[in-house]
Amino acid sequence: MILKIKNTTFEITDKVSQKNIEFEEELLKQKRVLPYLDSASITNVEISYYQRCRWLEVCEKEYLLLQGRNEKGEPTSQAAIIFFRPAKLKWFGYASIPYFGSSATSLDEEQNLLEAVKQILPTIKNVTRLHIRGWSTKTHELMNFEAVSRRAGLKIMDPTYYTRTLMLDLTGTDEEFFKKFTKRTIIKLKTPKRSELFIREIKNEEDIPKLQNALGSSFKRTTGNSDSFFEFEPYFKMAKKYPESTHMLCLSFADSPDEILAYCMAITHGSLAEMVSIGSVYNEALRKIDYTHLMFHDIFLWAREQGCTHIDFGGITDGSQGDLLAGISKFKRTFTNTEVEIGREMIWDFKPNKTWVFKKIQSIKNPGAHSI
CATH number at residue 115: 3.40.630.30
Mean pLDDT (whole number) for 78-82 = 97
Residue 29: predicted pLDDT: 95
Q: Are residues 171 and 144 in the same domain?
A: no
Q: Is residue 144 part of a domain?
A: yes
Residue 367: predicted pLDDT: 60
Is the pLDDT at 108 greater than 80? The verdict is yes
Q: Are residues 206 and 57 in the same domain?
A: no
Residue 77: predicted pLDDT: 97
Is the pLDDT at 160 greater than 80? The verdict is yes
Q: Is residue 371 part of a domain?
A: no
Q: Are residues 228 and 332 in the same domain?
A: yes
Which H or E run includes 119?
A: helix 107-120
Q: Is residue 372 part of a domain?
A: no
Residue 261: predicted pLDDT: 94
Q: Are residues 221 and 157 in the same domain?
A: no
Torsion of Cα atoms, 51 then 162 then 296 then 267, to 10°: 0
Q: Are residues 319 and 185 in the same domain?
A: yes
Check residue 71 and report its DSSP letter.
Answer: T
Q: Are residues 229 and 326 in the same domain?
A: yes
108: phi then psi, degrees, rounded to nearest 5: -65, -45
Q: Are residues 192 and 335 in the same domain?
A: yes
Q: Is residue 370 part of a domain?
A: no
Q: Is residue 234 part of a domain?
A: yes
Q: Are residues 138 and 123 in the same domain?
A: yes
Q: Is residue 91 part of a domain?
A: yes
CA–CA gap between residue 309 and residue 97 (Å, rounded):
26
Number of domains in the chain: 2
What is the full DSSP assignment across 341-367? E-EEEEEEESSHHHHHHHHHHHHHHST
Q: Are residues 229 and 325 in the same domain?
A: yes
Q: Are residues 157 and 170 in the same domain?
A: no
Residue 226: predicted pLDDT: 67
320: phi then psi, degrees, rounded to nearest 5: -75, 175
Q: Are residues 62 and 137 in the same domain?
A: yes
In the structure, what pLDDT confidence band is assigned to residue 191 with cuts at 50, 70 and 90? low
Say if residues 300 and 188 touch (Cβ distance below 8 Å).
Answer: no
CA–CA gap between residue 314 and residue 332 (Å, rounded):
9
The pLDDT tens digits for 221-259 are 887 776 777 899 999 999 999 999 999 999 999 888 889
Instruction: Give the structural domain span for 182.
Output: 165-341
Residue 368: predicted pLDDT: 54
Is the pLDDT at 192 greater than 70? The verdict is no
CA distances from 219 to 153, 205, 230 (A): 37, 22, 12
At a CB cut-off of 8 Å and minimum separation 6, what does 114 contact?
Answer: 148, 149, 152, 154
The pLDDT tens digits for 281-333 are 998 888 888 888 889 999 999 999 999 999 999 888 887 777 777 888 888 88
At a CB cut-off of 8 Å and minimum separation 6, what does 305 contact?
Answer: none
Q: Are residues 182 and 152 in the same domain?
A: no
The pLDDT tens digits for 25-65 are 999 999 998 887 777 677 889 999 999 999 999 999 999 99
Is the pLDDT at 165 greater than 60? The verdict is yes
Share the mean pLDDT of the chain. Answer: 89
